Each structure stands twice: as structure tokens, then as C-alpha cells.
């Protein structure tokens, strides 16, 4: 059964059930010699991809000020020119960067920086409001995060943002915002058929928050295009693999995760879906609050992912078979849940 829209938590904002992740369209950026982007991109193709997503009913676009050191927001703003009111823009703040050198430079959790960051993002996005503004510092202490709530509420009152949330994989952080922040409406966290997140989904249920899901396709592993022999270029974050990136190791798909993909492939594709479409269908079947945001760089990727909307959640028997296949493997994966987090 088709699934086309979901509500963005207690904000009441309606969004497409599928979003488009915009990390990759930011292009190259780095921390020293460590690449943090997905290699060179064609900005014109990125613009076409965003506009094609809109044409196919995708309305949520998730980016961050640090993607491409500001470039990602500029590309998204260009793509949405003339169509801004059709889109729901989510972006993030907290990391600092130098636009000229495209270098990450650190982080800043001060209320003053929050004010500067939102102003800069509005300018780069060429818009008068941000629909969902997300704290990007996943491990920030709860007291320091709570110190930002007042400024976030002021930004809502001023009409510069409509709602806000936290990008974190830590249930205690998500709980803090859900409990204390009136305008908080979403938690962005890792969720895929390879890595479940039951504690975070429970927080979303308790506090009426949307579950915005990064990594729904395992950074490409659940597209089916990678094998044990695959290598990623060294200008790709997956090619010169940092320690926090679990899906790839030494520029190759990690064997243990490829085994999990192999275990679940038949069940995800049993009704004729592609592997990626099956993985998205699993997320929708997992919870009515989930909004996966697979990354896209091309029109073709957008079209394959958007086609999953018409197939909707996996049917119950198919979902149960996926769970049966992955039960033992997922137990091992969940013991690894406290890894560092994505940029």
C-alpha cells in the first residue's frame, strides 16, 4: 500500500514520507586531509535531482551548513528557486568551517553562534525561514543543549525557523529535547534494516517526535552495487575511512555488513522491489513516525528511491521474514551502538 506523507512530529508540518539527504551534493570538504564529502559532484545534476524529487512528490530536503562548507546549502537554495513553497527544508548547525578552504574547523555550542549560524544558513539557502533546524552536535551534554532551547524558541517566535530538533543517536539526548523543548519536533538518527534503533523510536513515540532516518541505505550498501571487491576513491569519505564510519573499512565495504546485506536481500526483494526500495519499505513498516532520507546525487537515484513511495511499507509477512533472517546478526550489531557519529 502506498505511503506518501507523514507528519513531522508535534509541529504538524506535513512532509513526504521519503526525504532526500543532501550530504553528498555538498561536494568536497575535509578536516585536514580526511575527506568528509562524497567526492566531486556535478552541481547542475544535483539541481536536476532536487527538482526531479519535487516532481515525484518528495518534499523534505535535509542538509547541514557544514556539508561542503556551505556549498551544499547554496546548491539546495539554487535548486529550490521558484519552488520554495513546495519544499520543507531541514538543515543543521553546530560545526564550524571555513568556506574558502572548505575545511571543518571545530564546533561551537554557544547561543551566539546559533544566532549567527541560522542567519548564514538563511542567506545561503536564499530563503526567509528554515522549516526544521537541527542541532548537529550529537554528543553535546544535556545541560549545554538545554541552554540553546531559549534561543531556538526565540527563533520560532521570530519566524526564522518553524521547528527544531537534535541529530543524535543517544536516547538520553533525544529525551532531553523531547521533555524540555516545546518547539522540538524531530530526532534525526541512524536507522536501517541493518541497524535498528528501538530506544530512539520509543522516545519518539513518548514525546510525539518525528524519526528522521539517516543512513537508511547503509551509505550505499543497501543499493546492491557494492561487493567485497569494490573500492571507493580516496576523495570519498568512504574511501579514506575515518574511525566513526562503520559500513566501510580501508576504502572497502566491511565484510560483516556485506554478510548482513546478503542475509536480508531475498526477503527485501521478494515482492519485486529493488534492494533499496525494500530497505525503505522496512523502515516505513518499522514505525509510523519514520522518515528516511537516503542520500542522492543523480536523477536516477532519486527516481529509484521515489518509486518506493508507491510500494509503501513492507507487508507484515515480508517484514517478519526480514526480522527472522536478521535476529542473531542484529544482536551483535546493537552491542556496537555507541560509536561516534557522522558529520
Alpha-carbon dihedral of residues 60, 128, 117, 171, nearest 10 degrees? -40
This prediction's pTM: 0.95
Mean pLDDT of 39-68: 98
Phi, psi (rounded to 5 degrees) for 299: -60, -40
pLDDT in tens, 58-88: 999 999 999 999 999 999 999 999 999 999 9
Which domains does the chain show, CATH number per domain?
Answer: 5-9+13-332 (3.20.20.100)
Direct distance between the N- and C-terminal alpha carbons of the chain, in angstroms, rounded to an integer: 35
Listed residue (219, 217, 214, 279) closest to 249, CA to CA: 219
**Phi (first) and psi of residue 5, to 5 degrees:** -135, 155
Q: What whole-number distance in Å separates Cα of residue 36 and Cα of residue 232?
A: 13
Give pLDDT tens digits for 279-306: 999 999 999 999 999 999 999 999 999 9
> Which residue carries 553562534 as its cell?
113
Neighbours of 96 (CB within 10 A): 16
337 pLDDT tier (thresholds 50, 70, 90): very low
Amino acid at each position: 500500500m502506498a505511503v506518501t506523507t507523514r507528519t513531522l512530529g508535534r509541529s504538524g508540518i506535513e512532509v513526504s514520507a521519503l526525504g532526500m539527504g543532501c550530504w553528498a551534493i555538498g561536494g568536497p570538504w575535509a578536516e585536514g586531509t580526511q575527506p568528509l564529502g562524497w567526492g566531486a559532484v556535478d552541481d547542475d545534476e544535483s539541481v536536476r535531482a532536487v527538482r526531479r524529487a519535487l516532481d515525484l512528490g518528495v518534499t523534505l530536503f535535509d542538509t547541514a551548513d557544514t556539508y561542503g562548507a556551505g556549498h551544499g546549502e547554496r546548491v539546495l537554495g539554487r535548486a529550490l528557486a521558484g519552488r520554495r513553497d513546495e519544499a520543507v527544508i531541514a538543515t543543521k548547525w553546530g560545526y564550524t568551517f571555513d568556506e574558502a578552504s572548505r575545511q571543518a574547523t571545530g564546533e561551537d555550542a554557544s547561543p551566539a553562534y546559533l544566532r549567527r549560524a541560522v542567519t548564514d544558513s538563511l542567506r545561503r539557502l536564499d530563503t526567509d525561514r528554515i522549516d526544521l533546524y537541527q542541532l548537529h552536535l550529537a554528543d553535546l551534554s544535556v545541560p549545554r543543549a538545554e541552554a540553546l532551547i531559549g534561543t531556538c524558541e526565540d527563533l520560532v517566535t521570530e519566524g526564522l525557523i518553524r521547528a527544531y530538533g537534535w541529530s543524535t543517536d543517544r536516547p538520553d539526548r533525544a529525551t532531553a529535547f523531547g521533555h524540555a523543548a516545546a518547539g522540538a519536533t524531530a530526532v534525526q538518527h541512524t536507522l536501517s534494516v541493518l541497524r535498528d534503533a528501538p530506544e530512539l523510536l520509543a522516545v519518539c513515540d513518548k514525546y510525539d517526535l518525528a524519526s528522521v532516518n539517516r543512513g537508511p541505505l547503509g551509505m550505499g550498501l543497501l543499493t546492491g552495487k557494492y561487493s567485497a571487491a569494490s573500492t571507493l576513491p580516496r576523495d570519498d569519505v568512504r574511501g579514506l575511512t575515518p574511525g566513526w564510519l562503520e559500513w566501510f573499512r580501508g576504502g572497502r565495504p566491511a565484510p560483516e555488513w556485506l554478510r548482513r546485506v546478503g542475509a536480508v536481500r531475498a526477503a527485501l526483494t521478494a515482492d519485486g522491489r529493488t534492494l533499496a526500495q525494500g530497505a525503505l519499505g522496512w523502515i516505513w513498516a518499522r514505525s509510523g513516525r519514520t522518515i528516511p532520507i537516503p542520500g542522492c546525487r543523480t536523477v536516477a537515484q532519486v527516481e529509484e528511491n521515489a518509486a518506493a513511495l508507491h510500494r509503501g511499507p513492507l507487508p507484515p509477512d515480508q517484514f517478519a521474514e526480514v526480522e527472522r533472517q536478521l535476529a542473531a546478526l542484529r544482536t551483535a550489531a546493537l552491542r556496537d551502538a555507541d560509536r561516534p557519529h557522522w558529520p
